[in-house]
Each structure stands twice: as structure tokens, then as C-alpha cells.
A = this chain, B = another copy of it.
Amino acid sequence: MSATPIENLSKLCIHTITTKSWSLEEAGERYEAAGVKGISVWRQYLEGRNIAASGDRLRNHGLEIVSLVRGGFFPSTVAATRQKAIEDNLKAVDEAAALGAEMIVLVCGADPGQSLETSRAQIQAGIEKVLPYAIEAGVKLAIEPLHPMYADTRSAVNTLEQANDMAEAIGSEFVGIAADVYHLWWDPHLEKEIKRCGANGNLFAFHICDWVSPTVDMLNDRGLMGEGCIPIKQIRGWVEEAGFSGFNEVEIFSDRHWASDQQEFLANIVSSYKSC
């Protein structure tokens, strides 16, 4: 089965970080004007705001609030730091509930001062500590496996297989996975693991962007869909075949695109989305 053609923008969501310089209010207005139907809100855009009112305002722009980004960063060699991470994740649950976001995306974290196995155990323990509070609030937690180039400090969960293992080990309908093509495209087991993820009801979110060549910055050189080598359409086909019918979330960190005219960038996101 190949990906269904994209005929409209009903499944297009944009992460606020993608249009980094726009305030939440500006993003809401401009996304609506461009026909975008979903928004994923990075937490820094909520600072100093009434969160519930911000959520209503976004919904009044016809935007579904797909996710709050981001929780996680559980591992540390220092117990007090791990405890602080738990507290911050509980706060994120409050924010997501107030905003009306269905889920929180977890950038799981890693500490280069300890083994990946230890970091992974701390991630799972962290999620399990936050989970009862999240369930109570009706907020889902989405583990995002990150590219292996981030294994030292950002995430010890680096493949969809590992994320599937962890989500299944936790075994709650409130814990699933955010699959981002940027992190996963190289993986020879991707198709199989997407199928597994969907079959187990764990495929919560799908993020898109592209991998440009050469990539000059490990963090902030993502491409617009079509600018790079990721087979986005093929992966989207696998995701749909696995039963996913949620938003396609555009999440682009790019010094290059951030330095460009952001209204033009938004138009390019919309047009490149239609062809991916």
C-alpha cells in the first residue's frame, strides 16, 4: 500500500518551533490564514500566558492542538536532577491539560556519564512515575526515539524498536510513540517496527521534515520536505498502513530557514507538504 495522496491540508500540523520567531498568537493567525489545521505547541511559547485562554484562542483559529512539546530528559547521574525532571514533567502534564493538548512528546534524555542501559532504565522509571498523573489528567505520553547521533545527551532511545520495547513494557494506553522521519529514516527495520507500533496501538504521532546533504549542523539543519533524501511518502505509506490517521506534523529546526522570510517559509511548507 502506498501513501494516500494529499488532497487538502486537513492533516497538516506545524510545530511552533518551525516558525521560531513568531509568537504563539502570530503563529495561530498565520497558520489559520495558510489553511493549516493543527498546531503542536512548544512550551516556551506558553511562557507568561494564560494557558487555557491560549488554547481557546488557537482553537478559535480552527487549529487542533496536537501535542505539547516537550517533556522527558529523565536520565542523570544525579538523583536530584532526575527528581527535578519528574517535577518538570508533572508540570508539563498540567500545561498540556490546560492547553487542551492530547499528548506530550517526550525527548527522553541521556547522560554521557553513565551507560545507555542505565539511561534507558531511568527513562522508563521516569515515565512510570509521571504516568498516573498523566492518566488522571487525560494526557498521553509519546516516546520519541531520536537519531543515534543524539545518543550521548538527548536520548538513549534511538530506534523505533527500542521505543516499541519500552512502550510495550510500560503497557499503558496512555504511553505510545512519536515517530519522526528525521530520526528513523535510515533504519533497515523501520517498516517492520512501524507495523508493530501500529498493531499495538502505540503509534501516537508522525513528524515530518527532511535530511539535507550536506548537513552542516547536527541540530538545526533540517530541510523542508523534498529538500533532502528521506523517502517521506514511503514512510507515510507505512504509517497509514499501520492504522495511523492523525496529523502529519511538520517539525523543522533550521538556521537557514529561520533566517528566511517566515511568511514565505510557511507558504513553502504548505506547498512542499502537498507533494510529500
A positions within 8 Å CB-CB of B: 112-113, 115-116, 147-149, 151-153, 158-159, 161-162, 185-188, 211, 213-215, 218, 228-229, 231
Chain B residues within an 8 Å CB radius of A211 = 112, 152
Question: When A147-B148, A148-B148 are in contact, do A153 and B214 touch as well, CB less than 8 Å?
Answer: yes
Q: Please, which residue of chain B has its CB at the minimum distance from the CB of A162?
A: B188
Q: Please, which residue of chain B has its CB at the minimum distance from the CB of A211?
A: B152
Chain B residues within an 8 Å CB radius of A153 = 213-214
Question: When A215-B218, A218-B218 are in contact, do A152 and B112 touch as well, CB less than 8 Å?
Answer: no
Whole-angstrom distance between the Cβ of A118 and the nearest chain B Cβ: 11
Flag if A159 contacts B147 (CB, 8 Å). Answer: no
Chain B residues within an 8 Å CB radius of A116 = 186, 188
Whole-angstrom distance between the Cβ of A99 and the nearest chain B Cβ: 31
* Residue from B112, B147, B159, B188 within 8 A of A188 (CB atoms): B159
Flag if B186 contacts A112 (CB, 8 Å). Answer: no
What 3 A-B pairs are tightest by C-beta distance, nearest first?
A112-B229, A151-B186, A149-B149
Whole-angstrom distance between the Cβ of A258 and the nearest chain B Cβ: 19
Question: When A112-B229, A115-B231 are in contact, do A152 and B213 touch as well, CB less than 8 Å?
Answer: yes
In Å, the complex CA distance between A53 and B162 comes to 51
Whole-angstrom distance between the Cβ of A107 and the nearest chain B Cβ: 16
Whole-angstrom distance between the Cβ of A145 and the nearest chain B Cβ: 11
Whole-angstrom distance between the Cβ of A108 and the nearest chain B Cβ: 13
Chain B residues within an 8 Å CB radius of A213 = 112, 152-153
Chain B residues within an 8 Å CB radius of A185 = 151
Whole-angstrom distance between the Cβ of A268 and the nearest chain B Cβ: 20
Q: Please, which residue of chain B has its CB at the minimum distance from the CB of A184?
A: B148
Flag if A148 contacts B218 (CB, 8 Å). Answer: no
Most B Cβ at <10 Å: residue of A151, A161, A186: A186
Whole-angstrom distance between the Cβ of A194 and the nearest chain B Cβ: 16
Whole-angstrom distance between the Cβ of A75 and the nearest chain B Cβ: 12
Whole-angstrom distance between the Cβ of A131 and the nearest chain B Cβ: 23
Whole-angstrom distance between the Cβ of A10 and the nearest chain B Cβ: 29
Whole-angstrom distance between the Cβ of A181 and the nearest chain B Cβ: 13
Most B Cβ at <10 Å: residue of A113, A151, A162, A229: A229
Chain B residues within an 8 Å CB radius of A113 = 229
Chain B residues within an 8 Å CB radius of A149 = 147-149, 215, 218
- Give 18 new A-B contacts, CB below 8 A, not counting A116-B186, A151-B185, A152-B228: A112-B213, A112-B228, A113-B229, A116-B188, A148-B186, A148-B187, A149-B149, A149-B218, A152-B211, A152-B213, A152-B215, A152-B229, A153-B213, A153-B214, A158-B186, A158-B188, A161-B188, A215-B218
